[in-house]
């Protein structure tokens, strides 16, 4: 029996390849899946990075688009514009969404398509009539064909901008100027002398309803109230300094070309604009308040518990000096061309509830001085001085022309320009005894009462040193048309002027203890002194336009006036009530014509912008 050859078994290589296959398979199992995962992760990361980059550029484009919209189309939310108001809000919230041209019907979306991304723009204006906006641009989704695929990435950019000139209208809630006609105002003082609105307070304070204009300084004494007129806020305009006494009140805005000072308890319900400085209360006073924003070419200073309800912009310094809680506080952002100084005597007694930006220094925060937003001193470029609405320039009618105009009306002729030479018509029928057009002195002092109807009529005093018209003791004058008087007029002791004609005198017009404008609900009479003064006292109803272009209107104590008061200078005694009456518009042939401005009837107006262009204050990539 032969033996088996074991050497052949040892030398055989069968089965060894299996080992290598098993090793290779093991390596593949261990290495390939991570490589595949890494490759996918790299691809996915690249896709995310691409999406992020696209979203970033879309958000950046959104900022530019918002600036373009503001520059060229304003912030209107009307049907031809792209802004819309948040649900439950209105334009007074100074916050808008932009819905974009890609979604003209809105379709329930708050976003627009930019660079293939869905971008939402949130716009907030700092104050109701500033040019400064904060824009938040958020890009959250990317288009993938017809469907929108939700992305886990998000790009958010925030910017603060000041827009410049453009063909658009700024919309806000503050009333604009009543107009350039002096008869658009409850009180219009045409001369350079200061106007002082007196008020003793108590149970019957001086109350004025309607806008007030002064060509010089304006002093609103303690307890004087400038209230709304037919629901429309009443504003004051002083082409000089404005001083508001203790507990005085303005329901609209306040404008002064000089310094503005508010004493304890004084309040302005809308914005304050000053070509000088603004000071709220004094070191020894308690508190004053500006309910909305404040803008001054000079310093803005708050003492004790005074407050400003919105943003504050100063071409000088902003000073917040608190004494006791409640704090001296600015409820909005503050921007100063120079420094912002804050100090308090007790905890949290000086506060800015927003961002503080200054071209110079900002006081370091302490427990007594708090800034609830960002603090940005030494800002470059330096924050500019605020741009103020232009001071009103009233139309100044030609007195020579209107004197001739009324003189012709008094002769029953159609007025023609100077020189007037018209034939005198014959006797004009009136209610009562006939009166010639050319009349001497009219003197009535009845024992009981008397009525007289006048107009059109030209009256010349028999004695130039005496009054041309003298009515005393229960005389009722029916003013049918224009009565032109060479001389003065004196009316006293329970007399009445009834009707909507014109009483025009070259001398003084004195009305004491009487009533004007009774019995006519459709129009008001014009009472005019061409070269003299108008003096009233103890008149329970003065429904008229009182006009003394070369003199003074002196409104006496306890007078109640409905109409408009226009004069070179104006004085008043305590406890008057003066209400602007829209029947002024019904007076034909008012000097200079009656021209209404945007006034408080509108909630929009156009103003000059601080441009040109747009100034980006800061730009921040949030995410």
Q: Structure tokens of 432?
A: 């009562």
pLDDT attached to residue 188: 95
Total H helices, total E strands in the chain? 3, 53
Compute the half-sphere exposure of residue 33: CA atoms within 13 Å on the CB side of its CA.
5
Q: What is the pLDDT of residues 391-409, one digit of tens each?
A: 887 777 778 888 888 888 8
Q: Structure tokens of 10?
A: 């040892």
From 128-132, 229-233, 307-311, 392-396, the region with the lowest mean pLDDT: 128-132
Q: Structure tokens of 341?
A: 């100084």
From 149-153, 300-304, 568-572, the region with the lowest mean pLDDT: 149-153
Look at the chain and count its residues. Answer: 623
pLDDT greater at residue 365 or residue 152: 365
- Name the residue with tokens 């004790």: 304
Most confident segment among 51-60, 76-85, 226-235? 226-235
Most confident segment among 3-17, 39-53, 339-353, 387-401? 339-353
> Is pLDDT at 530 greater than 70 in this prediction?
yes
pLDDT greater at residue 417 or residue 197: 197
Compute the half-sphere exposure of residue 461: CA atoms within 13 Å on the CB side of its CA.
17
pLDDT attached to residue 388: 85
pLDDT attached to residue 77: 53
- Secondary structure letter of residue 353 according to DSSP: S
Q: How confident is the model at residue 40 (pLDDT cuts 50, 70, 90)?
A: low
> Is pLDDT at 585 greater than 80 in this prediction?
no
pLDDT attached to residue 146: 39
Most confident segment among 179-188, 410-419, 436-445, 529-538? 529-538
pLDDT attached to residue 144: 47
pLDDT attached to residue 399: 84
DSSP element (H, E) containing 455: none
Q: How confident is the model at residue 430 (pLDDT cuts 50, 70, 90)?
A: very low
pLDDT attached to residue 552: 97
The backbone torsions φ and ψ at residue 66, rounded to the nearest 5 degrees and listed phi first, read -60, -45
> Is pLDDT at 481 greater than 80 in this prediction?
yes
pLDDT attached to residue 190: 93
> Is pLDDT at 282 greater than 90 in this prediction?
no
Q: What is the pLDDT of residues 66-114, one digit of tens each?
A: 777 776 666 555 544 556 555 555 444 444 555 444 444 433 334 566 6
Are 114 and 58 spatial neighbours (Cβ–Cβ below 8 Å)? Answer: yes
Are 261 and 220 spatial neighbours (Cβ–Cβ below 8 Å)? Answer: no
In terms of phi and psi (left: phi > 0; alpha: psi -120 to 50; beta: otherwise), the region of 215 is alpha
pLDDT greater at residue 249 or residue 380: 249
> Is pLDDT at 276 greater than 80 in this prediction?
yes
pLDDT attached to residue 97: 55
DSSP line for 50-110: HHHHHHHHHHHHHHHHHHHHHHHHTT--STTSSEEPPTT--GGG-EEEE--TT-TT-TT--
Peptide linkage before 326 cis (omega within 30 of 0): yes
> Is pLDDT at 434 greater than 80 in this prediction?
no
Q: What is the pLDDT of residues 116-135, one digit of tens each?
A: 677 777 777 765 545 677 88
Q: What gap in Å lies between CA 240 and CA 304, rounded to an integer?
A: 26
Boundaries of every domain in the chain: 44-172+611-621
> Is pLDDT at 308 greater than 50 in this prediction?
yes
Q: Stretch 128-143: mean pLDDT, rounded?
A: 68
> Is pLDDT at 373 greater than 70 in this prediction?
yes
> Is pLDDT at 316 greater than 90 in this prediction?
yes
Q: How confident is the model at residue 329 (pLDDT cuts 50, 70, 90)?
A: very high
> Is pLDDT at 469 greater than 80 in this prediction?
yes
pLDDT attached to residue 334: 94
Q: How confident is the model at residue 27 (pLDDT cuts 50, 70, 90)?
A: confident
DSSP element (H, E) containing 169: none
How many angstroms separate the most distant Cα atoms in the chain?
Answer: 180
> Is pLDDT at 379 greater than 50 in this prediction?
yes
Q: Stretch 305-311: mean pLDDT, rounded?
A: 92
From 64-78, 389-403, 415-429, 445-459, the region with the lowest mean pLDDT: 415-429
- Per DSSP bridges, beta strands 112-114 and 249-250 are unpaired
From 243-252, 300-309, 341-350, 415-424, the region with the lowest mean pLDDT: 415-424
Neighbouring CB atoms inside 10 A of 66's CB total 26
B/e letters for 10-42, b = 16+ CB within 10 Å, e = fewer, are eeeeeeeeeeeeeeeeeeeeeeeeeeeeeeeee
pLDDT attached to residue 615: 56
pLDDT greater at residue 34 or residue 177: 34
Q: What gap in Å lies between CA 425 and CA 417, rounded to an integer?
A: 19
Q: Which residues, including other chains, have CB under 8 Å from residue 340's CB and lie 6 or more apart?
A: 317, 318, 319, 320, 334, 352, 356, 358, 361, 362, 363, 377
Neighbouring CB atoms inside 10 A of 150's CB total 8
pLDDT attached to residue 610: 36
From 38-42, 131-135, 320-324, the region with the lowest mean pLDDT: 38-42
Q: Stretch 522-529: mean pLDDT, rounded?
A: 88
């Amino acid at each position: 029996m032969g033996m088996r050859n074991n050497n052949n078994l040892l030398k055989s290589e069968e089965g060894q390849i299996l080992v290598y296959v098993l090793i290779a398979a093991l390596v593949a199992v261990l290495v390939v899946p991570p490589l595949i995962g890494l490759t996918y992760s790299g691809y996915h990361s690249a896709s995310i990075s691409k999406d992020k980059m696209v979203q970033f550029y879309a958000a950046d484009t959104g900022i530019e688009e918002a600036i373009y919209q503001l520059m060229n189309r304003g912030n209107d939310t009307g049907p031809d514009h792209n802004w819309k108001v948040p649900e439950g809000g209105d334009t007074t919230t100074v916050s808008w969404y932009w819905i974009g041209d890609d979604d003209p019907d809105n379709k329930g979306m708050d976003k627009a398509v930019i660079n293939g991304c869905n971008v939402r723009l949130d716009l907030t204006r700092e104050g109701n009539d500033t040019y400064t906006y904060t824009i938040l641009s958020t890009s959250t989704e990317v288009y993938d064909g017809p469907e929108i695929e939700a992305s886990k990435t998000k790009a958010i950019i925030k910017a603060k901008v000041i827009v410049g000139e453009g063909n658009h209208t700024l919309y806000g809630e503050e009333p604009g100027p009543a107009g350039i006609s002096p008869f658009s105002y409850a009180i219009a003082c045409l001369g350079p002398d200061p106007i002082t609105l007196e008020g003793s307070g108590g149970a019957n304070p001086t109350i004025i309803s309607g806008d007030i204009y002064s060509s010089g300084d304006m002093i609103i004494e303690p307890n004087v109230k400038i209230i709304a007129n037919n629901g429309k806020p009443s504003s004051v305009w002083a082409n000089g300094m404005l001083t508001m006494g203790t507990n005085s009140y303005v329901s609209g805005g306040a404008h002064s070309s000089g310094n503005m000072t508010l004493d304890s308890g004084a309040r302005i319900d809308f914005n304050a604009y000053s070509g000088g400085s603004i000071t709220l209360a004094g070191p020894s006073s308690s508190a004053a308040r500006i309910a909305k924003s404040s803008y001054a070419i000079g310093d803005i200073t708050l003492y004790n518990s005074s407050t400003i309800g919105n943003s504050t912009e100063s071409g000088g310094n902003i000073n917040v000096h608190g004494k006791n809680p409640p704090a001296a506080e600015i409820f909005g952002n503050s921007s100063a061309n120079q420094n912002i100084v804050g100090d308090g005597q007790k905890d949290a007694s000086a506060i800015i509830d927003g961002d503080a930006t200054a071209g110079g220094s900002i006081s370091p925060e302490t427990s007594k001085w708090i800034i609830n937003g960002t603090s940005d001193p030494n800002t470059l470029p330096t924050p500019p001085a605020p741009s103020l609405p232009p001071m009103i320039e009233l139309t100044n009618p030609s007195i020579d022309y209107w004197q001739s105009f009324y003189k012709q009306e008094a002769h029953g002729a159609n007025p023609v320009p100077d020189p007037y030479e018209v034939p005198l018509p014959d006797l004009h029928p009136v209610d009562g005894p006939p009166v010639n057009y050319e009349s001497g002195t009219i003197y009535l002092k009845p024992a009981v009462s008397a009525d007289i109807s006048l107009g059109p009529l030209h009256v010349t005093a028999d004695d130039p040193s005496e009054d041309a018209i003298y009515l005393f003791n229960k005389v009722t004058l029916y003013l049918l048309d224009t009565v032109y008087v060479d001389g003065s007029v004196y009316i006293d002791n329970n007399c009445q002027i009834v009707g909507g004609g014109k009483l025009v005198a070259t001398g003084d017009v004195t009305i004491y203890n009487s009533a004007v404008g009774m019995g006519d609900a459709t129009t008001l009479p014009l009472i005019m002194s061409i070269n003299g003064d108008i003096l009233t006292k103890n008149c329970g109803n003065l429904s008229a336009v009182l006009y003394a272009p070369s003199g003074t209107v002196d409104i006496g104590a306890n007078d109640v006036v409905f109409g408009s008061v226009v004069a070179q200078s104006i004085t008043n005694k305590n406890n008057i009530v003066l209400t602007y009456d829209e029947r002024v518009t019904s007076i034909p042939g008012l000097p200079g014509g009656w021209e209404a401005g945007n006034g408080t009837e509108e909630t929009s107006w156009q103003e000059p912008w601080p441009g040109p262009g747009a100034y980006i204050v800061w730009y921040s990539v949030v995410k």
